[in-house]
Amino acid sequence: MKAKQKEVDDWIKLHKAGYFKPLEIMTHITEEVGELARELNHLYGQKKKKDSEDIKELADEISDVMFILICLANSHGIDLDESFSRVMDKCYGRDKDRYKKK
């Protein structure tokens, strides 16, 4: 993630006056998650056909959410590799009861 966080930061520095304010970023996250939901409704709602182009669009929507999450992390000086590891560790413990091991 470090490389991606740097890439986003470089882009922001080149193109914008700085990161949005936190609640603006949050509202963008909600907007992008909405677009992801639309894509999944398109794929799995009433009609069932999906082709490779749809999967590519799904991938792009997921990445759009990633991008804006990284903006939120960067604007708070968060190291996502570190916190992702922490969450994975927590998961092993936390989810012991929720999911049965195979």
User: Looking at beta carbons only, is 49 or 88 nearer to a second copy?
Assistant: 88
9 vs 20: CA distance, rounded Å: 12
Q: How far is the CB of 71 from a second copy (least distance, A)?
A: 10
Q: Which of residues 35-64 bind a second copy (CB under 8 A)?
A: 35-38, 40-41, 43-46, 55-56, 58-60, 62-64
Token pair listed for 25: 């970023």
92-95-101 Cα angle (round to 5): 80
Q: Which of 53, 88, 93, 97 binds a second copy (CB under 8 A)?
A: 88
Largest CA distance in the chain: 50
Q: Does 2 bind a second copy (CB under 8 A)?
A: no
Give Cα 33 distance to the centre of its chain. 8
Q: Does 6 bind a second copy (CB under 8 A)?
A: no
> Binding-site residue total for a second copy (CB under 8 A)?
67
User: Looking at beta carbons only, is 49 or 67 nearer to a second copy?
Assistant: 67
13 vs 6: CA distance, rounded Å: 10
